[in-house]
């Protein structure tokens, strides 16, 4: 079977019973979606806004319209308050930077999304071809720095702050907000 270079691959499995692993898996999906976005720029330069490009653009939009904001909300609701509760200046500065990143990503996403809508409609002009890939690279670069800060600083600092009950509550809230089944470990602890 010939797989298109623009197709997304299956995401890693992680459940809500392991919220930190779920957050890390989301980062893997973000990176895959960003790689798809950057491959799309090359595809558009070579082949234009064809059906394959439109499908790739829809895949990227689907991820960053739904899963991306849910991931940011997970961090805003759970990680950032835990880090701020430490009461130290470095954790507070880290949270402020990550919050600013979330706002910048949201703003930049609107411009990237408009570019991708053009692709889905088959509109790809020389103006798009010059400006859009620069926006896409800036978006990917912002995410790369952000993910590194979370995985190297925020997650390792926050993880020990969550005991068993707090970790289960975090996973339960994340699942419920998405309309997903409550993790088995959480359901089992309710019965005990």
Q: For residue range 28-86, list pLDDT tens digits in order.
A: 999 999 999 999 999 999 999 999 999 999 999 999 999 999 999 999 999 999 999 99
Using DSSP, state whether 181 is helix, strand or coil: coil
For 128-158, the pLDDT digits (tens) are 888 999 999 999 999 999 999 999 999 999 9
For 87-112, the pLDDT digits (tens) are 999 999 999 999 999 999 999 999 99
- pLDDT of 125 > 90? The answer is no
Residues 6+ apart with CB under 8 A from 81: none
Contact 147, 27 (CB under 8 A): yes
Domains of the chain: 19-185 (1.20.120.520)
Interatomic CA distance for residues 2 and 179, integer angstroms: 35
Q: The tokens of 11 are what?
A: 């995401």
81-86: long-range pairs with CB below 8 Å, 24+: 82/158, 82/161, 82/162, 83/154, 83/157, 83/158, 83/161, 85/161, 86/157, 86/161
- pLDDT of 7 > 50? The answer is no
Question: The whole model's pTM is what?
Answer: 0.85
Q: Which pLDDT score is estimated for 185?
A: 54
């Amino acid at each position: 079977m010939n797989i298109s270079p623009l197709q997304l691959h299956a995401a890693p499995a992680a459940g809500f019973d392991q919220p930190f692993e779920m957050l890390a898996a989301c980062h893997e999906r973000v990176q895959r979606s960003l790689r798809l976005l950057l491959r799309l720029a090359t595809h558009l330069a070579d082949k234009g806004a064809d059906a394959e490009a439109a499908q790739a653009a829809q895949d990227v939009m689907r991820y960053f319209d739904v899963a991306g904001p849910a991931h940011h909300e997970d961090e805003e609701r759970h990680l950032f308050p835990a880090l701020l509760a430490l009461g130290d200046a470095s954790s507070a500065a880290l949270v402020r930077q990550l919050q600013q990143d979330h706002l910048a990503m949201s703003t930049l996403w609107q411009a990237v999304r408009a570019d991708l809508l053009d692709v889905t409609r088959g509109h790809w002009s020389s103006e798009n071809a010059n400006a859009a890939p620069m926006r896409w690279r800036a978006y990917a670069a912002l995410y790369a720095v952000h993910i590194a800060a979370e995985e190297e600083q925020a997650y390792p600092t926050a993880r020990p702050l969550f005991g068993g009950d707090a970790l289960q509550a975090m996973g339960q809230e994340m699942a419920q907000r998405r309309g997903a089944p409550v993790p088995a470990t959480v359901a089992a602890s309710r019965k005990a």
